[in-house]
Structure 1
Amino acid sequence: MTPEDTPFTLRHIEEPEIQFEGGTETSPKRGLIRYGPRLYEEGHHTIKLGIIGDRDSIRRLTELLHDMEVGIHPGTSDNPWQVPYPGLGKSSPLNLSINAKKGWRRQIRRRDIQSVTSKSTPRDRMERFLKLVRKDIEIIERDSVQPNAIIVCIPQEVMDACTPENQDHARIQSEGSDLRNRIKLIGMEARIPTQLIKPSTLAIRTDRQRASRAWNLTVGLLYKSQRGHPWKTRQIEDGHCYAGLSFYRERDEGDDVIRAALAHVFHGRDHIILQSDPLPDITEDENGSPHLSYEAARQVGEQILEYYEAQKGTRPSRFVLHKPSVFWEEEREGLLDATDGVRDLDLVSVDHIENSLPPPVEVEFASSMRGQFSK
């Protein structure tokens, strides 16, 4: 096949510069080492960290945290993804420490795991495990000094037990309930963000893997602990509001299903996570993806924009909202009415396809471009 016969065009896109505390860089890791993260306050910061997991995962995680204190070198290669982890502490360019005291650790014992695996269905096993996690988070929450974030290590047996036979562990879902999202919601109810870790993440065999895990954990905890941001993009324009909508489903003691939604709002330098009130009249399509009613969509849109306006003193000129399912007509109508006065409204749906090419992104343009659709 000649170049003229190629059915697509390849184009190299230069790495964008990102903004750190003291300068810009194209490499996130090198930028953090040279300029440091964008912390909310001056001075050294300590992230107080809670841990929930079985004995083995707690041991592996505490070993990783110990290595992070002194620094980790992934090897001699000069590849950009093998940047050494510089370590933590007051002398670290990251200007961070992590305190994971024993009082913030909760061990999932063998009998607890057996109480999960003994249930008859993946959904019942999931509900049992969530009950255990909720109890542990509530105990940690009652400490006189609360952690800034909690890491929840999901035991392998629990992952196996809660995953239906027709799914892999990438998405632990059953009957429309997502284990990861449910744990995040429990943490948000306690006002303590959670970070989930799978057993494979802690199965570290090389220094390169160890350094990579250390970088990922540091960046994640910076966001989750709300102590600051590792960096920010330079291209986000003032007056633009970006939000992502996720759905959660719970059961109360009477087995009634309660649904809630979370909106992640970004504007300029700042970001916040808002939890909506329980939303009425949520419908699921044939794939189990939830969809908002007109009233629920309008309610979510108004809540996001009210927060933005309270912070900025004006409505955004552009509002971008994404969620993991296509927007139905009544969702679009509700959001259009909620965003009256906003110049541009972009509704983006991101679909996930297992064992395939990267997922397609469907973008729907409303407001001044209402009626157009691009896929």
Structure 2
Amino acid sequence: MNAEAKPYRLPGHIVLQEPRLRFGSKDQRDVDVHPMEGLLRFGPYSKDKLSAVSNPIRIGMIAPAGQTDRLVGQIRELEQVHQPRERKTYLPQYRGFESIFGVRLTRGGTGTSIELPADLSDRIAASPTPHIVLAEALTQALFALRNLRDAFDVVVILLTEEWKTGFRGPVGDDFDLHDYVKAYAASEGICVQFLRDVSALDYFCRCSVAWRLGIALYTKAGGVPWVLADADPGAAFIGIDYALRAGDGRDTRFAICCSQVFDAEGSGLEFVAYEADGVKMFGKNPFLRREQMLKVMTRSLAIYQRKHSGDPPKRIVVHKNTEFRDEEVEGVFDAFPNADNIELVHVQQSCGWRGILIQKPQQPHGYPCRRGTTFQLGPHEALLWTQGNLPEVAGGKDYYKEGKGTPEPLMLVRHAGLGPMDDLCRETLALTKMDWNNDGPYDRLPVTLNFAGTLATIVKRMPKLEPHSYPVRLFM
């Protein structure tokens, strides 16, 4: 029997406004959607705060033999003015570090500039395990700095392409030099900034390098560049991610669960790392038992209360990149018995949907659909395009950060909680602007998951996991 073809009717979509950011001005009207334009106009958010960064910010250095002067030159270059040579519709002029952030940069105290051994390149080239040779050289240099902790704020490490074979482990070994060194440095309380000679010192657009490095150094020194302007007071956002590492027994596995807490302004507070043994596995994904999730959430609550005069959040939104199992849901609710609303959201990165902006009949637009497009699929499911065309940061001109390709939306699936899905999409979109470790207008994922995933992969390499909270800047 031939059934009559009927058009499939979908609900209408909406395009959310680009979230606004607040900077260093006390005037509530002084906001901007462009992170760097806002810094130029109003200065960083923390410039007049009591706990602002030290002035000057002192830079420790670890460099290849004979290349300290190149690294010093890069730091001095941050005080100069630079014009953009790429992304000209988006990237503004860089006006110098002190002009933008209100503090200066200087070299650290005596003994905080270390050159690695002159024969390191030869040893790396000759070794069957170059990643171990390079990692040991860098950790030894950091060990030498641990007793000079009061003489610097951030350590900049210069890596040369000659050492490329040591950046990752061999096939079958998940060693990553960046994660390994960050884990060691974090255990010593040292903030580290890596620089690659080809992508930083030799990069053709000095304006781009200056913006990225300037924001990173200011943030790692304890500064807050910007926060969200339109926030729900009393809300807390928590991101959860896991990383597995082997135990002593052949079949023993531990899950490192990282939970980071953000307040209503989207400002990252601290994070807790919880080592859970005997985790349950569903497919390749670990899931926590009820009592394990309760411990993680209780520690997260303590961080929020410590930063908010003991007051608990009224509303909690928990993001996870896997679904919530029943035991995990129960553990979260156990931890927040007095909250007005708890929303548990699975942020799914791959959903199979695509969106094409049709300008006129049979005439697709030359750019992707607008960033902020949202499309509700059900009472607790929605698609959200966090990538897409964003004229607001390019003077009204079409601008697609990724440059090419058709963006895939995130699918938000709410496993618990009430309220309009549009509000949940709006908050998720805003949190994609809160990664202080780059100069882009947004990330694809909200910062709750961007940071939690990074933290979990780094923390699993820490030799000893202490049961206390960690400043996020140690792992950026």
TM-score normalised by the chain length of structure 1: 0.73
Name structure 2 gaps, 5 residues minimum. Answer: 1-6, 352-403, 426-476
Q: Which amino acid is the alignment partner of residue 334 of structure 2?
A: D
Cα distance, 1:225 vs. partner? 1.5
* Cα distance in 2 between the residues matched to 1:199 and 1:247: 32
Match of 2:273 in 1: 276
RMSD: 4.4
Name structure 1 gaps, 5 residues minimum. Answer: 167-173
* Cα distance in 2 between the residues matched to 1:247 and 1:57: 38
User: CA deviation digits over 1:173-199, x for unaligned, max 9?
Assistant: x65555433433323222222233344
Match of 1:338 in 2: 335
Alignment of 1:52-91 (within 5 A): 52-55=62-65, 58-74=68-84, 79-89=88-98
- Residue pair 1:245, 1:263 contacting (<8 A) in 2 also: yes
* Cα distance in 2 between the residues matched to 1:266 and 1:197: 28
- Residue pair 2:166, 2:177 contacting (<8 A) in 1 also: no
Match of 1:305 among 285, 301, 304: 301
* Cα distance in 2 between the residues matched to 1:298 and 1:225: 32
Match of 2:24 among 14, 21, 26: 21
TM-score normalised by the chain length of structure 2: 0.60
Structure 1 pair 8/262, CA: closer, same or farther in 2 (3 Å)? Answer: same
Larger Rg over CA atoms: 2
* Cα distance in 1 between the residues matched to 2:121 and 2:42: 44
* Cα distance in 2 between the residues matched to 1:150 and 1:306: 30
- Residue pair 1:185, 1:248 contacting (<8 A) in 2 also: no
Structure 1 pair 360/248, CA: closer, same or farther in 2 (3 Å)? Answer: same
State whether structure 2 residue 170 is matched by structure 1 residue 149.
no
Match of 2:191 among 193, 198, 215: 193
Residue correspondences, number:
351
Match of 1:107 among 103, 112, 115: 115
Match of 1:236 in 2: 231
Match of 1:267 among 263, 267, 283: 263
* Cα distance in 1 between the residues matched to 2:325 and 2:227: 32
Match of 1:365 among 408, 414, 422: 414
* Cα distance in 2 between the residues matched to 1:212 and 1:334: 44
Structure 1 pair 86/358, CA: closer, same or farther in 2 (3 Å)? Answer: same
Q: Which amino acid is the alignment partner of residue 200 of structure 2?
A: L
Q: Which amino acid is the alignment partner of residue 16 of structure 1?
A: P
Structure 1 pair 129/348, CA: closer, same or farther in 2 (3 Å)? Answer: farther
Match of 1:30 in 2: 37
- Residue pair 1:150, 1:192 contacting (<8 A) in 2 also: yes
Cα distance, 1:95 vs. partner? 0.4
Q: Which amino acid is the alignment partner of residue 365 of structure 1?
A: R
User: CA deviation digits over 1:258-293, x for unaligned, max 9?
Assistant: 764443321135532234354333567766x65545
Match of 1:222 among 196, 218, 224: 218
Match of 1:170 in 2: none
User: CA deviation digits over 1:37-77, x for unaligned, max 9?
Assistant: 122337983222223343487554432221111222336x9
Cα distance, 1:134 vs. partner? 3.0
Alignment of 1:40-51 (within 5 A): 40-41=49-50, 45-51=55-61
Cα distance, 1:346 vs. partner? 2.5
Larger RCO (CA within 8 A; separation ≥ 6): 2
